[in-house]
Amino acid sequence: MMSFKAPRAHKFAESPVLKLRLPTWRSRLVALLILSCFALLIGRSFYLQVLNNDFLQEKGDSRYRRDLEISASRGRIVDRNGDVLAVSTPMKSIWAIPADAHLTPQQAQQLAALLEMDGKELSRRLTSDKSFVFLKRQLPPDVGERVAVLKLPGIGEDKEYRRYYPSGEMTAHMVGFTGVDDKGLEGVELAFQGQLLGHAGSRTVIKDRRGQIVEDVGSIKPPQDGKDIHLALDSKIQYLAYSQLKQAVVDYNAKAGGAVVIDTKSGEILALANWPTYNPNNRERLSGSQLRNRAVTDSFEPGSTLKPFTIAEALETGKVRFDTVIDCAPGKLTIGTATISDAHSHGALTVAQVIQKSSNVGAAKIAALLTPTQMWDTFDAVGFGQISHLGFPGEVGGRLRPWKTWRPIEQATMAYGHGISVSLLQLARAYTVFAREGDIIPLSLTKTDAPPVGTTTVFSQQTVREMRAMLEMAVQAGGTAPRAQIPGYRVAGKTGTAYKLEGGQYAKKYVASFVGFAPASDPRLIVAIMIDEPAGLQHFGGDVAGPAFAALMGGALRTLGIPPDASQHPDGSVAGMQVALSGEAAKKPAVKEKM
């Protein structure tokens, strides 16, 4: 019987395959490569997380961290008595982060209904590739609260402000308005943009994946509210200017009009109104004619309101005297191929009567005694052809051509306000030389308690006294503006009626104006009224603008509590002439000028 012998077991380590030995350098190379990879990973991690973590931080912040703007309130605009003319009211803005705004169709429909938006427009904004978009701005706070209740992912709301104008269309052209971004676009809102505009703050928050704020990280910058602006404007006088101007435009079926009231002592603009106007709280249907601040942006030929400056220069240089006689017969004057005419033939007139009767022929003959340089210097000194730099958008400087280009006929017509253009604000300011002591002062939109700085003397006090007497005669019986009289007050002023220039030629359309001051014994206010294209039989400045001046000036004087002065001088013209002639002019005999 054969015996079976089990095979001898081999140890694993004695395998012939394992007995093959690899070169030592290969194992070391593999180990080195593995260690190098680990080293690179560790180095990269250290670089990203320690040395340069901006990239990862930015990616993380973009998903969970947001910097939200904290709105600042724009400064208020108030009148000289503290009455609010413009104020910012809290509103809500609804915004979205498109990457987080994953709304269901039902949620999108609810949101569109609350925001009163078209569904397609809402969808377009929510799918924008921008990181942040506004869905609707300046919404009532209750709408913002209703949106917040929905707790929609990626949708948020912020507080912002909307401008409100309590006085509405009455002060629209003076105050102006702001845009949706709370920046001034017109009027004082634009002129004082730097002071009114607040500086928004910001805060940093962390949001969850639904876009909801879960933590306030901190405030980066607190908001700074804008500064209040205290205007020189007096709301009561502004209302008078607005209402009387509107009534005059309606009564005479005119195209438009403007009114300005200036304090002669300080240069403050107490009122500035235009018609047509607009409601700054509702600007959905606006036209260019409504937006135009005509008293500042429109220029026109002033007509006879310019005669006092020509005659004042002739008085100042000694070319004529108060009672110098000018032969104005037969009411026409031919210079070259052109003829100047008066509305009525007057015959011989004194210089004072040239103003009282508003004789074009008389003014042209007086201008002939002056050189073009003298006339140009006078017009330039009172501000014609210059911008007043009040900051109003679109402010014009008018048109005053260089004196070297003047022809004789042009010098003659400029004497009575044709061939030169001014704004109503310029014209009102120019009359401060007669309402003061011969000096002109800068105007101010803001309330000021200090004396005006930068005054320029144009005429002597004697010339001013004589001119005041002439301007008083113009509003009395026999003058061109008896309808500008104010019971209880002495008034001085001048009418203007000018043809409008269209397409390089004068059309049979008129600009009627009146500029005057009161009380004449110690002038406190200047009022300038301009009515553009009055229709009907009446189109002269004394008939159209004179009554509006009287109503506005009378109401303003009573509003300021300025006592009447007519009782001191029952016969205004005689008293004025006596005052004017109390100087050297009264000592000389009358001079007759034959021209």
Q: What is the mean pLDDT of residues 305-330?
A: 95
Q: What is the mean pLDDT of residues 484-505?
A: 91
Within a domain: 255: yes
Q: In angstroms, how far is CA 149 from the centroid of its own chain? A: 41
Minimum mean pLDDT among 197-206, 276-285, 382-391, 524-533: which range? 197-206
Q: What is the mean pLDDT of residues 75-101?
A: 89
Residue 402 — very low, low, confident or very high, per pLDDT cuts 50/70/90?
Answer: very high
Same domain, 196 and 297: no
- b vs e for 314-334, b when ≥16 Cβ sit within 10 Å of the residue's Cβ? bbbeebbbbbbbbbbeebebe
The amino acid sitting at 523 is: P
- Assign residue 116 a region: left if phi > 0, alpha if psi is -120 to 50, beta otherwise? left
Give the pLDDT of residue 593: 44
The tokens 């190098």 sit on which residue? 36
Same domain, 224 and 266: no
CA 342/CA 480 separation, integer angstroms: 13
Q: What is the mean pLDDT of residues 232-248?
A: 97
- Look up residue 126 and give its two tokens: 């929510």
At 385 the three-state DSSP class reads coil
Q: Active-site residue 36, yes or no? A: no
Same domain, 210 and 149: yes
Within a domain: 510: yes
Same domain, 391 and 293: yes
Q: What is the mean pLDDT of residues 250-270?
A: 96
Residue 384, CA distances (Å) to 89, 174, 423 in order: 41, 22, 9
Q: What share of the chain is helix, strand, coil (3-state, %, to 5)?
A: 40, 25, 40
Q: Given a cut of 80, is residue 56 above it in pLDDT?
A: no
* pTM recorded for the entire structure: 0.80
CA 412/CA 520 separation, integer angstroms: 29
Within a domain: 51: no
Q: Which ranges of 132-258 does DSSP label H, i.e. alpha helix?
A: 141-150, 172-175, 187-191, 193-196, 235-251
Give the pLDDT of residue 496: 95
Give the pLDDT of residue 572: 42
Same domain, 143 and 258: no
Within a domain: 488: yes
CA 418/CA 400 separation, integer angstroms: 11
Q: What is the mean pLDDT of residues 368-380?
A: 96
Q: Given a cut of 90, is residue 554 above it in pLDDT?
A: yes
Same domain, 209 and 267: no
Q: Given a cut of 70, is residue 592 above it in pLDDT?
A: no
Higher pLDDT, 408 or 123: 408
Q: How many Cα atoms within 13 Å fall on the side-chain side of residue 142?
A: 0
For residue 584, what are the contacts with CB-CB under 8 A and spacing of at least 6?
Answer: 462
Q: What is the mean pLDDT of residues 489-510?
A: 90
Q: What is the mean pLDDT of residues 343-356?
A: 92
Neighbour count for residue 283 (Cβ, 10 Å): 14
Cβ 30 vs Cβ 183: under 8 Å: no
Same domain, 538 and 399: yes
Residue 11, CA distances (Å) to 5, 8, 14 in order: 18, 10, 5
Same domain, 307 and 218: no
Peptide bond into 519 cis (omega under 30): yes
pLDDT digits (tens, 9 = 90+) for 176-226: 999 877 889 999 999 999 899 877 776 666 655 555 555 555 557 777 888
213-220 contacts, C-beta under 8 A, 24 or more apart: 213/156, 217/65, 219/70, 220/67
Higher pLDDT, 249 or 567: 249
3-state secondary structure 83-132: CEEEEEEEEEEEEECCCCCCCCHHHHHHHHHHHCCCHHHHHHHHCCCCCC
Within a domain: 10: no
- b vs e for 560-576, b when ≥16 Cβ sit within 10 Å of the residue's Cβ? eeeebbbeebeebbebb
Pairing mode of beta strands 229-230, 77-78: parallel
Give the pLDDT of residue 21: 65
| Beta bridge pairs of residue 514 | 495, 529
Within a domain: 348: yes
Within a domain: 54: no
The tokens 């904290």 sit on which residue? 70
Residue 279 — very low, low, confident or very high, per pLDDT cuts 50/70/90?
Answer: very high
Q: What is the mean pLDDT of residues 282-301?
A: 87
Q: What is the mean pLDDT of residues 18-22?
A: 60
Active site residue: 88, 304, 444, 513, which one?
Answer: 304
Minimum mean pLDDT among 152-156, 494-498, 567-571: which range? 567-571
At 225 the three-state DSSP class reads coil
Residue 71's CATH number: 3.90.1310.10
Minimum mean pLDDT among 245-259, 264-278, 566-580: which range? 566-580
Percent of the chain clearing pLDDT 90 (strictly above): 54
Same domain, 410 and 495: yes
Higher pLDDT, 290 or 242: 242
Of the candidates 230, 263, 297, which is a domain's last residue?
A: 230
> Largest Cα–Cα distance of the chain, in whole Å?
182
Domain count, the chain: 2
Residue 114 — very low, low, confident or very high, per pLDDT cuts 50/70/90?
Answer: confident
Higher pLDDT, 200 or 430: 430
Q: Given a cut of 80, is residue 23 above it in pLDDT?
A: no
Of the candidates 209, 230, 251, which is a domain's last residue?
A: 230
Domain around 146? 66-102+124-230
Within a domain: 90: yes
Percent of the chain clearing pLDDT 70 (strictly above): 85
Q: What is the mean pLDDT of residues 103-129?
A: 85
Q: Given a cut of 50, is residue 574 above it in pLDDT?
A: no
Q: Which helix (H) or strand (E) holds 207?
A: strand 201-207
Pairing mode of beta strands 269-275, 256-263: antiparallel
Same domain, 330 and 378: yes
Higher pLDDT, 141 or 202: 141
Residue 337's CATH number: 3.40.710.10
Of the candidates 194, 214, 230, which is a domain's last residue?
A: 230
Q: Given a cut of 50, is residue 361 above it in pLDDT?
A: yes
The amino acid sitting at 168 is: G
pLDDT digits (tens, 9 = 90+) for 57-66: 666 665 566 6
Q: Given a cut of 70, is residue 483 above it in pLDDT?
A: yes
Residue 267 — very low, low, confident or very high, per pLDDT cuts 50/70/90?
Answer: very high
CA 259/CA 19 separation, integer angstroms: 115
At 78 the three-state DSSP class reads strand
Same domain, 158 and 239: no
Residue 162 — very low, low, confident or very high, per pLDDT cuts 50/70/90?
Answer: confident
Minimum mean pLDDT among 89-103, 323-337, 541-555, 568-582: which range? 568-582
Give the pLDDT of residue 358: 94
Higher pLDDT, 120 or 173: 173
- E-assigned strands of 315-382? 325-327, 332-335, 338-341, 348-350
Same domain, 178 and 266: no
The tokens 């029952």 sit on which residue? 570
Residue 503, CA distances (Å) to 294, 300, 339 in order: 20, 14, 21
Q: Given a cut of 50, is residue 579 above it in pLDDT?
A: no
Peptide bond into 223 cis (omega under 30): no
